[in-house]
Amino acid sequence: MYHNILIPVSFDSERDVTAPMKLAEILGTPEGQVTLLHVVEHIPGYAISYMPEDYLTEARTAVQTELEAMAAKLPNARAVVIEGHSGRSILDWAETNKPDLIIVASHRPGMQDLLLGSTATQVVRHAKCAVHVVR
């Protein structure tokens, strides 16, 4: 049983987080902590000038609200929104907060993943704790 479980959540894909959340319920202890983490990617400087002035604030608020609604479905769950590059930021957060387990969703790898690598691949290769990949 795990006491501190991290579930990275991506809203920009079709992946369903029901399976990772259910797995966290099964693998976690009653007094354990589950963290739903979303990483807001940085918008390049050339693109941000085309966005409405309050876009980042509104987007972050919307993501936080959605994540908190998801966290409310699990006991002892919390929602955390951070900024940065997805793979590196998840690993940095894990290094600081020391989860026992990371449950990450993955997609079927394609040619781009062979060249660039995916977030799940980066987490699996570099995390210092157990990682469970849900496909």
| Domain boundaries of the chain, sorted by first residue | 2-134
The answer to whether 38 and 11 have CB atoms below 8 angstroms apart is: yes
Q: Each residue's pLDDT tens digit in the chain (135 positions)?
A: 899 999 999 886 656 678 888 888 888 888 899 999 999 988 887 887 888 888 888 989 999 999 999 999 988 999 999 999 999 999 999 999 999 999 998 876 665 555 445 888 999 999 999 999 987
* Correct CATH for 2-134 of 3.40.50.620, 3.40.50.10140, 3.50.50.60, 3.40.50.300: 3.40.50.620
What torsion do the CA atoms of 39, 103, 3, 24 make, to the nearest 10 degrees?
Answer: 110
Which residue bears the tokens 């062979």?
114
